[in-house]
């Protein structure tokens, strides 16, 4: 195995029909393989983008019955590449799903799984409202896995806004961080690039960020701009908003080089927070003694 490898980001515009989404992903993964990809990442919600809760649960299935996962496992085996399914909606109970990533090796075996920890429950200024926790059960375990070229940390989308998770993964020897996403248009325009570059810079790691992009069948609009960022914060590859594949040659030695230049992972210190003293209420009421 070469010391370097090619990473491919698959940008999609998933709709409400899983088979159509899987077919689109398979085609784009095939393009990445033809371009020399060794590792391919798909975006969050590769199999379905459905905001209607009742339709979501009428469509998704348990992991062992999920045909999308079976397809990606066979594709990884037949192409001889690592396929990292950014996430699938997987039914884990009658009324809850998991937003679950799968890392699949060249033999089609599932190396590891990761359930998105942080739920996107927000009200945006433009009137959009999201309550991911209504339908999805959050994970509670951070996950690392070994690729032939180094260790990768698994995260998903809204996790990006919680830097302590990324520091923990970097302290666990992650050289690469995957952040498959479906960022909204409004938040993506404001924060996508700067947050991804920040996670790469502060942890001295490569960031792989495959994204959903464009106006979806369900009416939602996502930002796109799938990125690969190096450990010094340089953008190596980027999509626009259309479905596409972007590639970059990844040199794991760049991780050690960046961490040697800025060894902040070695300099972190534990600390306590001192709260301001609050005076008793009666002193405010009657004043201090003369």
Known catalytic residues are 44, 116, 157
Pairing of strands 5-11, 39-41: parallel
CB 6 within 8 Å of CB 50: no
Whole-angstrom distance, CA of residue 84 vs CA of residue 104: 6
- Name the strands in the sheet holding 244-250, side by side, starting at the edge strand that comes first in the sequence: 110-115, 96-104, 82-93, 39-41, 5-11, 244-250
Bin 66: left if φ > 0, else alpha if -120 < ψ < 50, else beta: beta
Burial class (CB in 10 A: 0-12, 13-18, 19+), 276: exposed
CB 157 within 8 Å of CB 199: no
What HEC string does 56-118 produce? HHHHCCCHHHCHHHHHHHHHHHHHCCEEEEEEEEEEEECCEEEEEEEEECCCCCEEEEEECCC
């Amino acid at each position: 195995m070469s010391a370097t490898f090619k990473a491919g980001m698959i940008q999609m515009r998933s709709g409400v029909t899983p088979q159509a989404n899987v077919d689109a992903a398979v085609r784009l993964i095939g393009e990445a393989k033809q371009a020399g990809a060794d590792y391919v990442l798909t975006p969050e919600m590769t199999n379905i983008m459905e905001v209607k809760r009742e339709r979501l649960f009428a469509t998704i299935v348990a992991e062992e019955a999920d045909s999308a996962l079976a397809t990606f496992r066979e594709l990884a085996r037949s192409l001889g590449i690592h396929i990292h399914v950014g996430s699938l909606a997987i039914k884990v109970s009658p009324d809850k799903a998991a937003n679950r990533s799968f890392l699949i090796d060249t033999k089609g075996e599932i190396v590891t799984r990761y359930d998105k920890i942080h739920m996107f429950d927000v009200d945006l200024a433009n009137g959009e409202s999201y309550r991911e926790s209504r339908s999805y059960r959050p994970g509670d375990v951070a996950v690392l896995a070994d690729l032939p070229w180094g260790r990768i940390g698994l995260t998903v989308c809204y996790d990006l806004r919680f830097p302590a998770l990324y520091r923990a993964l970097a302290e666990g020897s992650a050289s690469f961080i995957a952040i498959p996403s479906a960022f909204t248009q409004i938040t993506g325009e404001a924060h996508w690039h700067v947050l991804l570059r920040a996670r790469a810079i502060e942890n001295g790691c490569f960031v792989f960020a495959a994204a959903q992009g464009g106006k979806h069948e369900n009416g939602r609009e996502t930002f796109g701009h799938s990125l690969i960022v190096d450990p010094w914060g340089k953008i190596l590859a980027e999509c626009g908003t259309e479905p596409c594949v972007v590639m970059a040659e990844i040199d794991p030695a760049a991780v050690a080089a960046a961490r040697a230049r800025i060894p902040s992972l070695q300099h972190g210190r534990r600390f306590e927070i001192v709260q301001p003293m609050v005076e008793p209420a009666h002193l405010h009421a009657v004043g201090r003694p003369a």
